[in-house]
Amino acid sequence: MGRALRAALGLTGLALAAHAAPALTSIGPLRKRLLPHLAGVGDPGHIALTFDDGPDPASTPAFLTVLDKHQAKATFFLLGQMLWAAPELGRDLVEAGHEVAVHGWDHRPTLIRGPRAIYNDLARATDLIAAVTGQTPRWYRPPYGVLSTSTLIAARRLDLTPVLWTNWGRDWQRDATPQIVLATLTRNMDGGATVLLHDSDCTSAPGSWRNTLGALPAILEEVHARGLSIGPLRDHHHSPHTP
């Protein structure tokens, strides 16, 4: 192998490593310890409730009903293609007092996409959310929780703050049940956590949202039993509990 070719391959390897380096933040314990803001650690008296992958006409309205019954608000990370298909649901979310955020246009891994494609994806989703709901998104969560350098650059250009999670219910899995979702989500859940659930099964096991919905009342009750408040990310860093 010639020296020039070896040098070119070396530079390519370095470029790929730089592109993928932020993906290390997908490791939950590492993220929570070293990058608590990215992990969603906030007010110790508050839990941030977030949902990914909607809005979905088959499931999101049922979540709105439960949240309304419990007088709870949440942040919904929307997929642009789902909102495009059901714009009225996006408006319903905001009218009910919930916060909307960006999950991208479609649910594709960012590591296999180039800078231009990533920016266009985020910009398209951000613009649609703002136009449909009248609410300018503040937060961004990448599909699968995997960031790349290009993703971070695109988010900064669009004035979006990336945020992942500290606890999840693994509610997308085929073998999940409401009891498993509750136990998984609340295990090691401290005040200040950001929890991840899904209000759609568009990227999950078919019907998995029913397990999430079944667990939701118990999750809300558990949070209140611990003396914590629960709500959207917009309240997670600027609440009366924050010093």
pLDDT attached to residue 109: 83
Rounded Cα distance between 202 and 107, Å, is 9
| Peptide bond between residue 55 and the one before it cis (omega within 30 degrees of 0) | yes
Active-site choice (46, 98, 103, 198): 198
The DSSP letter of residue 200 is -
Q: Report how many domains make up the chain.
A: 1
Residue 128 lies in a domain: yes
241 falls within a domain? no
| Domain at 172, CATH number | 3.20.20.370
The answer to whether 52 is a known catalytic residue is yes
Is 108 contained in some domain?
yes
Cα-atom radius of gyration of the chain, to the nearest Å? 18
Question: Would you say residue 6 lies in a domain?
Answer: no
In this structure, is residue 243 part of a structural domain? no
Number of neighbouring beta carbons within 10 Å of residue 210? 16
Q: Quick one: pLDDT at residue 33?
A: 66
Which tens digit of pLDDT belongs to each residue from 221-237? 999 999 999 999 999 98
Q: What angle do CA 196, 197, 200 make, to 5 degrees?
A: 140
CA distances from 21 to 86, 118, 150 (A): 35, 16, 11
Low-confidence stretches of the chain (pLDDT < 50) are: 4-21, 23, 239-243
Question: Residue 146: what pLDDT?
Answer: 87
Is there a domain that residue 11 lies in?
no
Sign of CA dihedral 126, 84, 149, 28: positive
The reply to whether 9 falls in a domain is no
Pairing type for strands 46-54 and 139-140 reads unpaired
pLDDT of residue 243: 33
Asked whether the beta carbons of 230 and 72 are under 8 A apart, the reply is: yes
Instruction: State the amino acid at position 46 in one-letter form.
Output: H
Residue 115 sits in which domain range? Answer: 29-235
Q: What is the Cα 66 distance to its own chain's centre?
A: 20
Whether 198 is catalytic: yes
Specify the pLDDT at position 152. Answer: 92
In a domain, 135, yes or no: yes
* Measured distance between the N- and C-terminal CA atoms of the chain, rounded to whole angstroms: 60
Question: Residue 17: what pLDDT?
Answer: 38
**Which one from 52, 53, 56, 171 is the annotated catalytic residue?**
52
pLDDT, position 201: 97
- The burial class, CB within 10 Å (0-12 / 13-18 / 19+), for 167 is buried
pLDDT of res. 224: 96
Amino acid at 72: A
